[in-house]
Structure formats: structure tokens, C-alpha cells
Amino acid sequence: MWLGGKIPWRTVWFWDSGVQQILDYLLAEKTFDLVIVEDNAMGIYTYRTTIPLIFTEHEVRRQRPIDKVGLGKSDLLHWMANEIDWARWPSYQRSVWRKFDRIQAFTERDAQAIRVMAPEMAKQVRVNPFGIEIPDSSAVDAQEQNTILFVGNFTHAPNVDAALWLGKEIMPLLRDAQTGIRLWLIGIYPPPEVKALACNDIEVTGPVPEIEPYFARASLVVAPVRIGGGMRMKVLQAMALGKAIVTTSRGADGLAVNDLQPPLVIADDSPGFAQAVVRLLSDESARRELGSQARAYVVANFSAQAYARRIESI
């Protein structure tokens, strides 16, 4: 399907004829008021129904410049496959969006990208940030001093970029500013360049059975995201747990509500990011207050109930 087709590999990987059969059965035999389809992985399927269909676009894949600087011969085939695959995304995404009555994006950035890439769909696009089940807040007394946490799925290129920026540029500034700071990089499938960051004050764990204990132990959560679209589940999850967070403008995408800015510290360059981390690590009361505000903000605006209310208006 991939070699001879026009569908990106990430979507081909999710195709299963059995899933299509189940969808056909459910839509033919059961009664629904609304069908919501999540992500491009499910966009590959056909939905044979007259029931209103909403598609949730988790992240718009945009055009990007081709860059092969520094590639060795052993990397060339891998690079070529990636570029061929990436070039398939714009037309594939447009073909998916056209199947649906409404498209909901998590951020205005992605909504505008859809309007530009598929102008005929502009009137069907809505912004609806996702919601989460609200967990119990983390125990403050479980925090370990001077620990910072980054969480991400490392099959996603923006998380790799964030970890490398954090390890190579921000951590050296933190070491100069304050002794004893430790960084945890947690997530599945860390590539070799992320694993290479491991040293006496950086731990690359790979996957862990449960992430909540690490959130509880961390003094501070960071999300130095510079590229990519969509919203950051890790940021919302940390806020819901009552953690103080330092992130970037990109990492905070989708979190502003009715012109209210989320209770996060935002920094978009290495010195500013390091200064924000040091300032919060040095002020426990400020961390607690920021974490408390973050949890209240998520409860008010990003609970599953708040998300459902926004669905009703779409």
C-alpha cells in the first residue's frame, strides 16, 4: 500500500481490514447521534453513513523545506524514504478532511493551516482544544529537589528536537547557574542521539510503567517544544496534576481560552528558558502557586465535560 500508493506510512501502518468491517457493521446496525473520528490514523477508513461526521485533526503536517545537509551515505536511503513520505501528507490530509461535515482542530494555528491548504473546507473548520479526565493532584511532599522532567513520545520529531535542545543547549546553562540540577527524559523509543545525552545529571529512561510517580517527584516540568503543531498532552497533563511548567510559545499552543493566558512560564530562547527554570527551582512557594493556578485553569477549561460542551456548539 505504501510503495505503490499515496498514503503516508504512519497511516498505512494503522490500516486493518477488520477495523473497516467493524465500522461498517456499527454504522449499519447501531444508532448514533454523532460520529467523531480521531486523527489521520483513522482517517484512512471509510464511514458509510448519513450521521453527522466530525473529524479531529490532531496535528496538521505542513510543507517543509528539503534539507539533506550532513547526511552520510548510510543515511541517504532513510532520508529519501522520509522525504517521499512527508510529501504525501498535504494531499492525503485534504482527501481525509473532505470526507467530513466538520473539522475540529486543537489550535487556531492548525485551523488556519487547514483553511489555507483546503480553502473549500474553511467554513467547516472549528477550534476545540482537547479535554482530559482530571486526575488527583500530585503530592507536593513527594518532590525531589532540583529535578526537572520532560515527557514525550520520541517517535514524534518535535519531541526529539525538544530533548536535544534541552540537553545540548539549556542544561549547560543550568549547570553554570546552579549545582545539583537533574533532568529526566522519559518516553518511548528514544533515538540514539537522545540516548547519547545520558550522563551523571541527565537520565534517559525510555518507557516507564507509570508516568504519574515521575510527575510527583519532579520539582518542575519542562516542555521546550520548538516545532510541530497540535496541542501538547504532556503540558495539559502536568497542569492538571498541579505542576509548575516552563514551556515555549509553541508548547502553549491551544491553551489560551477567551483571551485568558494559561498560568505557565514561557521562554523561547535558551538563556530565557534556563533563567526561568533556575528562578522556579529556587522558589518553592512560586512553584506551588503556579501549579495550583495551572490545575484550576485545566479543571475550568479542559475537563472532559468542558470539551463535550464545546462539541455541542460545533
Q: Is residue 308 part of a domain?
A: no
| Domains in the chain, number | 2
Residues 293 and 194 in one domain: yes
Q: Is residue 3 part of a domain?
A: no
Reduced 3-state DSSP string for the chain: CCCCCCCCHHHHCCCCHHHHHHHHHHHHHCCCCCEEEEHHHHHCCCCCCCCCEEEEECCCCCCCCCCCCCCCHHHHHHHHHHHHHHHCHHHHHHHHHCCCCEEEECCHHHHHHHHHHCHHHHHHEEECCCCECCCCCCCHHHCCCCEEEEECCCCCHHHHHHHHHHHHHHHHHHHHHCCCCEEEEECCCCCHHHHCCCECCEEEEECCCCCHHHHHHCCEEEECCCCCCCCCHHHHHHHHCCCCEEECCCCCCCCCECCECCCCEECCCHHHHHHHHHHHHCCHHHHHHHHHHHHHHHHHHCEHHHHHHHHHHC
pLDDT tens-digit series, residues 156-185: 888 999 999 999 999 999 999 999 999 999
CA distances to 104, 112, 230, 248 from 125, rounded to whole Å, are: 6, 9, 14, 26
Residues 164 and 64 in one domain: no
Rg, Å, the chain Cα set: 21
Q: Is residue 86 part of a domain?
A: yes
Q: How far, rounded to the nearest angstrom, does the alpha carbon of residue 140 sit from its chain's CA centroid?
A: 26
Long-range contacts of 15-18 (CB under 8 A, 24+ apart): 15/44
Nearest alpha carbon to residue 14 among 44, 35, 34, 58: 44
Q: Final residue of a domain: which of 128, 153, 175?
A: 128
CA angle 96, 234, 142 (to 5 degrees): 160
Mean pLDDT of 39-60: 92
Is residue 68 very low, low, confident or very high in pLDDT (cuts 50, 70, 90)? Answer: very low
CATH classification at residue 252: 3.40.50.2000
Q: How far apart are CA 211 and CA 9, in angstroms?
A: 28
pLDDT tens-digit series, residues 199-208: 999 999 999 9
66 pLDDT above the threshold of 70: no
Q: How far apart are CA 119 and CA 139, in angstroms?
A: 48
Residues 109 and 187 in one domain: no
Residue 296, pLDDT score: 94
Residues 149 and 47 in one domain: no
Residues 146 and 294 in one domain: yes
Q: Is residue 15 part of a domain?
A: yes
Q: Is residue 208 part of a domain?
A: yes
Is residue 75 very low, low, confident or very high in pLDDT (cuts 50, 70, 90)? Answer: low
Residues 182 and 79 in one domain: no
Residues 57 and 170 in one domain: no
Q: Is residue 156 part of a domain?
A: yes
Residues 155 and 267 in one domain: yes
Q: Considering the chain, what is the average pLDDT of its residues?
A: 88
Cβ atoms of residues 49 and 27 within 8 Å = yes
Q: Final residue of a domain: which of 107, 128, 149?
A: 128
Q: Is residue 4 part of a domain?
A: no
Q: Is residue 1 part of a domain?
A: no
Residues 144 and 220 in one domain: yes
Residues 161 and 197 in one domain: yes
Nearest alpha carbon to residue 295 among 216, 244, 240: 240
Q: How far apart are CA 164 and CA 191, in angstroms?
A: 11
Residue given cell 482517517 in the structure block: 43
Residues 150 and 240 in one domain: yes
Residues 38 and 124 in one domain: yes
Q: Final residue of a domain: which of 61, 93, 128?
A: 128
Mean pLDDT of 137-166: 88
Domain that holds residue 110: 9-128
